[in-house]
Amino acid sequence: MTVSHLATQLPRFLTWYNAAFLVQAAALTLALSALGSIVGIVCGGGIAVLRRTTGWPLAPLRAVGILYVELFRRIPFLVTLLLVFYATQLGGYQMPLFAIGAVAVSLISTAYLAEIVRAGLASVHANQWHSAAVANFSLWQTLRLVVVPQAWPVILPPAFGFFVMFLKDTALASQIGVVELTYAGKTLNNRGFAPLLTFGAVLILYFAMSYPLTLLGRRLEARFARPRHR
Amino acid sequence: MPDLGIADLTAAYGGKRVLDRVSLHVGTGDVVGIIGPSGSGKSTLLRVLVGLLAPESGSVVLDGAPVDYRSKAQVRALRDRLAIVFQQYNLFQNMTALENVMIAPVRIKRRPRGEVRAQAIDLLGRVGLSERMHAYPDQLSGGQQQRVAIARALALQPEILLLDEVTSALDPELVGDVLAVIRGLAADGMTMLIVSHEMSFIRDVASRVVMMADGRIIEEGKPADFFRAPRTERAQAFVGRIRWHRD
């Protein structure tokens, strides 16, 4: 394959149809990542808070939370994906592929974000919890007004690092047939377009999605991390 | 009008008994100075009183009603009436001095913001920090932070104020300002339990001195009597080692 070959293919590649196909796949990648990230923040945050509780009535739940986090952070994403895929088939019920992908990414992101949030909460000194407790703050008020605002600088950088990594990792969902961005590139390649063109386009779209995410992360970091004076 | 009765209070921490059958009575307007060597249980007593450490046995009775520390509602009700100032100030790092003072009255006690703000500004003025009320804790000196912490505790309008070695973490030149604030509170009739190593301060301000050692109260008396002629051997040795200085 030569450069001239690519050049002759380019006009045929740059059609509305192909563009729409790729953008749609990119949207699916974004949707999968966004869904995973939102579920991850909510459920992972929940687990992180659960792990801060001390009373014995919640002890079994805490144990389950710890087991879950430690387990799912140690399984490759592909394995989780395939497990969810085959587990849903077990019941004889055909779940949409996107739903299977969404469940798998949510399982993974919950585990990772639980750990990121846990580290953030742990970075806030115990005396802040004590001060809130003696002034009758509820757990929720302590988190919202005192602890989480101080934990942001520790949570945000790894969280956004994770989001960007995660956006790329959803490519694995193609393994079960979800037409996300990487799969779309492969499909166009199979239709006869040069891999450099198709995957070049895929690269640009991944960058177009992840770079703004990085910028957003930096903005949030700058906003929430008040300059320290000592 | 608070009347706090502590009877046979016992507590353990990490398998070690840190309070051993402590009994004490604090009436309205009392300023009780709690002294003793490090690790004698002074700070632990305050921590148990505000419910940060659960007692093993014994009782705490406030105005005739025993406090059940296993009941969240009762601990909440107790904390509505008791405020504590910590050795390390423990100001909320994400809030300015003024916000630190206002947050609990506004968000927890649901008092009108305007009224709380006026009170908070007044309190910060009383502790000499009118100029610094918009500063964050890490922009303040230790002594300034501790005075904000006192203002924050007072904003809760407590009936009893617990002060846990509030000058121990401060540079010597900053101690005087904090002690002056506490002297003012004592003069206003505030009921206080003061754990402190500032012996001359305790002698001047306290209406009663309690000496603790090994988790127990070993002697109690009026400051003038206690410091002049302690009765027990432990107290005699302790008082004998005090180097008095003018503050």
> pLDDT tens-digit profile of B232-241?
999 998 888 8
Q: For the residues A57-63, what does the mean pLDDT come to?
A: 91
Local confidence band at A228 (pLDDT 50, 70, 90 cut-offs):
very low
**Which residues does chain A have within 8 Å of residue B138's beta carbon, measured at their own beta carbons?**
228-230
Angle formed at CA A198 by CA A195 and CA A202, multiple of 5 degrees:
125
**Which residues does chain A have within 8 Å of residue B88's beta carbon, measured at their own beta carbons?**
127
Return the residue in B75, B88, B93 with the most chain A beta carbons within 10 A, the one to mutate for interface testing. Answer: B93
**Which residues does chain B have within 8 Å of residue A226's beta carbon, measured at their own beta carbons?**
94, 136
Return the residue in B71, B81, B90 with the most chain A beta carbons within 10 A, the one to mutate for interface testing. Answer: B90
Give the side-chain half-sphere CA count within 13 A for B2: 27
Whether B195 has a pLDDT exceeding 80, the answer reads yes
Q: Please report whether residue A174 resides in a domain.
A: yes
Residue B174 C-alpha, separation from nearest chain A C-alpha, in angstroms: 18
Q: Chain A: which residues have CB within 8 Å of chain B?
A: 127-128, 130-137, 141, 145-146, 149-150, 226, 228-230
Q: Please report whether residue A181 resides in a domain.
A: yes
pLDDT score at A124: 94
Q: Please report whether residue A230 resides in a domain.
A: no
Q: Note whether B50 contacts A134, CB cutoff 8 Å.
A: yes
- Residue A228 has its nearest CB partner, among B76, B138, B156, at B138
B161 near A CB under 8 A: no
Residue B195 burial by Cβ neighbours in a 10 Å radius (0-12, 13-18, 19+): buried
**Which residues does chain B have within 8 Å of residue A134's beta carbon, measured at their own beta carbons?**
50-52, 79, 83-84
Q: Which residues contact A5 (CB under 8 A, 6 or more apart)?
A: A194
Q: In this predicted structure, which of A201-215, B152-166, B168-182 has the lowest mean pLDDT? A: B168-182
**Which residues does chain A have within 8 Å of residue B107's beta carbon, measured at their own beta carbons?**
137, 141, 145
3-state secondary structure of A198: helix
Q: Note whether A136 contacts B136, CB cutoff 8 Å.
A: no
Distances (CA, A) of A88 to A84, A85, B52: 6, 6, 48
DSSP H helical ranges for chain B: 42-49, 72-79, 97-103, 113-126, 142-155, 172-187, 199-205, 223-228, 233-240
Q: Please report whether residue A169 resides in a domain.
A: yes
Q: Note whether B108 contacts A134, CB cutoff 8 Å.
A: no
CATH number at residue A96: 1.10.3720.10
**Which residues does chain B have within 8 Å of residue A136's beta carbon, measured at their own beta carbons?**
76, 79-80, 104, 108
pLDDT score at A5: 81
pLDDT score at B163: 94
d(CA B4, CA B61): 6
Whether A229 has a pLDDT exceeding 70, the answer reads no
Distances (CA, A) of B188 to A33, A37, B34, B162: 61, 56, 20, 16
Whether A27 has a pLDDT exceeding 50, the answer reads yes
Whether A213 has a pLDDT exceeding 60, the answer reads yes
d(CA B220, CA A76): 66
**Which residues does chain A have within 8 Å of residue B93's beta carbon, measured at their own beta carbons?**
128, 150
Q: In this predicted structure, which of A94-98, B221-225, B227-231 has the lowest mean pLDDT? A: A94-98
What's the mean per-residue pLDDT of chain B? 92
d(CA A129, CA B75): 16
Q: Please report whether residue A8 resides in a domain.
A: yes
pLDDT score at B245: 61
B118 near A CB under 8 A: no
Q: Please report whether residue A135 resides in a domain.
A: yes
Enter the pTM of the model: 0.85
Q: For the residues B165-187, what does the mean pLDDT come to?
A: 85
Whether B80 has a pLDDT exceeding 60, the answer reads yes
Nearest chain A residue to B141 by CA distance is A230
Angle formed at CA B194 by CA B192 and CA B200, multiple of 5 degrees:
120
Q: Please report whether residue A229 resides in a domain.
A: no
Nearest chain A residue to B162 by CA distance is A134
For tokens 């309008």, what's the residue?
Answer: B157
One-letter amino acid of A65: G
Q: Which residues share a beta bridge with B61? A: B5, B66
Whether B61 has a pLDDT exceeding 70, the answer reads yes
Q: Note whether A229 contacts B104, CB cutoff 8 Å.
A: no
- Residue B86 has its nearest CB partner, among A127, A137, A229, at A127
How many separate domains does chain A show? Answer: 1
What's the mean per-residue pLDDT of chain A? 89
Whether A226 has a pLDDT exceeding 80, the answer reads no
Local confidence band at A1 (pLDDT 50, 70, 90 cut-offs):
low
Query: What range defines the domain where residue A169 resides?
Result: 3-224
Nearest to A147 by CA among A52, A83, A40: A52
Q: Note whether A145 contacts B107, CB cutoff 8 Å.
A: yes
Return the residue in B94, B138, B140, B193 with the most chain A beta carbons within 10 A, the one to mutate for interface testing. Answer: B94
One-letter amino acid of B82: L
DSSP state of A112: H
d(CA B190, CA A132): 23
Nearest chain B residue to A137 by CA distance is B108
Q: Note whether B90 contacts A137, CB cutoff 8 Å.
A: no
Q: Note whether A149 contacts B94, CB cutoff 8 Å.
A: yes
How crowded is residue A173: how many other Cβ atoms within 10 Å of its Cβ? 28
Q: Please report whether residue A25 resides in a domain.
A: yes
Q: Percent of chain A at pLDDT above 90?
A: 51
Return the residue in A56, A121, A136, A141 with the most chain B beta carbons within 10 A, the one to mutate for interface testing. Answer: A136
For tokens 């974000």, what's the residue?
Answer: A113
